[in-house]
């Protein structure tokens, strides 16, 4: 998913932080069976799950346009 996501850097401005969820019990409870999971953060808004397992380009575009 990371390689596919990086292909969209010309279209959208973003940074990527790869997190090992096994090191955080709260993240394990949220995403355990959904890895890999893509979560987006916008200033002043709660984190939003964009997609999991594979990159959903429609969901990615909706996140950036919304």
The pLDDT tens digits of the residues spanning 6-38 come to: 999 999 999 999 999 999 999 999 999 999 999
pLDDT at position 65 is 93
Mean pLDDT across the chain, nearest whole number?
94
Q: What is the pTM of this model?
A: 0.88
* Structural domains in the chain plus CATH codes: 2-65 (3.40.30)
37 beta partners: 52
């Amino acid at each position: 998913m990371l390689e596919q996501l990086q292909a969209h850097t010309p279209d959208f401005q973003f940074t990527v932080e790869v997190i090992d969820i096994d090191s955080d019990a709260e993240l394990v409870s949220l995403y355990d069976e959904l890895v890999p999971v893509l979560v987006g953060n916008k200033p002043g808004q709660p984190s939003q799950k964009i997609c999991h397992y594979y990159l959903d380009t429609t969901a990615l575009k909706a996140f950036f346009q919304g």
